[in-house]
Structures are given as structure tokens and as C-alpha cells.
Amino acid sequence: GAGVSQSPSNKVTEKGKDVELRCDPISGHTALYWYRQSLGQGLEFLIYFQGNSAPDKSGLPSDRFSAERTGGSVSTLTIQRTQQEDSAVYLCASSFAGQGIGGAFFGQGTRLTVV
Amino acid sequence: KQEVTQIPAALSVPEGENLVLNCSFTDSAIYNLQWFRQDPGKGLTSLLLIQSSQREQTSGRLNASLDKSSGRSTLYIAASQPGDSATYLCAVRPRPARYNQGGKLIFGQGTELSVKP
């Protein structure tokens, strides 16, 4: 595709439910990044995938959060048993391997609201 | 723990004015520093990236400087225009401790810029 595509663009869920957020990176980009942006915390790193290497999960805030990247392309961020503090905009970005986050393109994000 | 601070939090200027946005960070062990722009409801757009060995980068009306020893960076915008209105974010990439840690950026809270016609 022309850019990084995220779906859904908006998601409202009830506290305690599980949600899945999807990211379609730019074709050919082997690196994929998830960040979240919340009012109180600003932008926070969540997880980084690079090719077949073990992902850097150091930013995931709790074990309720997990992410997968299937076939080196599409990624899904899953939040189990959602809490109100999970409400945020979840941003995905992708880049070519050698460029790192400095050469990444960001999607428009998924706005998650937990009620 | 690396912390990034941006001052001011918000800035309103008349069109045509030159302006400076400030960013400071607490740990000088950085790989690079990057300035982004964010428009409401949209993702981030990278503006300038300064490697740790560099002092400044320029793109059009934008100039970013880096003083690693003092933990400071500035973004200079010349001849501001209403289209420059957006939130400007500063982010540092820490030196990775492991090979797979190249994706982490630590962001400041941003400066919300409004340029009035």
C-alpha cells in the first residue's frame, strides 16, 4: 500500500474485554514499531519487530499486552482484559531494515476508548 | 532513566516570525535525536534527524541543533507560516544495550505551535 494502514481507526470497548489492533506496514518494510500516545504519558514505545530477530518487547506495560507479526508483514497488537488506563491512540510505524526508527513512516493510529 | 522535556508546552506567534523550540534530555548517551511534527488526528512526520556525532541539520526553513554534552536541542523555524501550526515532538534514541533495541524512541511531551495569519 501507499502508507502504513491501521485498523480500526476508532474502537470503543467495555472494560474487561479483549481488543485486537491491526497494522499493515508499507510493502517491503521489514521493521515494524508500535507506540501509544495517551494524555498523561505522551508517546511511549511498546514493541519493535525487525525481520526474523526476536522482537524488543521491553515497552509493553503489562502481560495483558502482546503483539504478533505474521509472515513478516501484518502485525496485530492484542490487549486482554482492557482497563480504562489503556485508553490511548495506538500508533504503528514501519521502515526498511537499515533505516531504523529514524526512517520510519507512521500510520494515523487507532484511537482506543475503554468505557 | 532518560527523560525528555520540551519548553514551551504551547506557543502562539504571528505569521512571519522566527521562532525556537527547545528540547532537553537527561542522559547524553544517545544514538540520535529526532524532531517530528504531528497534526491533529494524524500520525507523526519526521522533520529532522541528528546523529549523536552531528551538531545540526537543516531542511528548508527548519534548522535543528544538538549539544549532546549539555543535553539540549533546538528547532529553529524561520519565517513561520500558518501551515506550520502543529505539535512538534522531540525524541531521543538511546544507545541500544542489545542488538534488537533499535526501535525505541523516548519522546518529550511536545510543543503545540499556533501561527496566526
Average pLDDT, chain B: 93
pLDDT at B36 over 90: yes
Q: Which residues of B touch A100 (CB under 8 A)?
A: 93, 102-103
A101: nearest Cα among A53, A25, A48: A48
- Give the closest-approach CA distance of B74 to chain A in angstroms: 18
Lowest mean pLDDT among A22-36, B23-37, B99-113: B99-113
User: How close B28 comes to chain A (CA, Å)?
Assistant: 18
What is the Rg, in whole angstroms, of the alpha carbon atoms belonging to chain B? 14
Joined grid coordinates for residue B62: 527548519
- The mean pLDDT value of chain A amounts to 92
Could you read off the pLDDT of A6-60 as tens digits, one per residue? 999 999 999 999 999 999 999 989 899 999 999 877 899 999 998 888 899 999 9
Higher-confidence residue: B100 or A90?
Answer: A90
Residues from chain A that touch B41, judged by Cβ atoms under 8 A, are 108
In chain A, where do the E strands start and end? 5-7, 10-13, 19-24, 31-38, 42-50, 65-69, 75-79, 88-95, 105-106, 110-114
Instruction: Give residue A1's pLDDT.
Output: 52
Q: Phi first, then psi: give them for residue A29, nearest 5 degrees.
A: -80, 125
User: Cβ contact (<8 Å) for B43 and A103?
Assistant: no
CA distance A52 to A44: 24
For range B33-52, the mean pLDDT: 91
With a cut of 70, say whether residue B98 has pLDDT above it: no
Task: Name A18's Cβ contacts closer than 8 Å, sequence gap at least 6.
Answer: A78, A79, A80, A81, A82
Least confident of A90-94, B32-36, B92-96: B92-96
Contact A56 B98 (CB under 8 A): yes
CA distance B26 to B4: 7
Taking the C-alpha atoms of residue A25 and residue A94, their distance in angstroms, rounded to an integer, is 6
Q: Does A55 touch chain B (CB under 8 A)?
A: yes
The residue among A110, A101, A98 whose CA lies nearest residue A36 is: A110
Chain B residue numbers touching A108 (CB-CB < 8 A): 41-43
Nearest to B104 among A31, A59, A91 (CB): A59
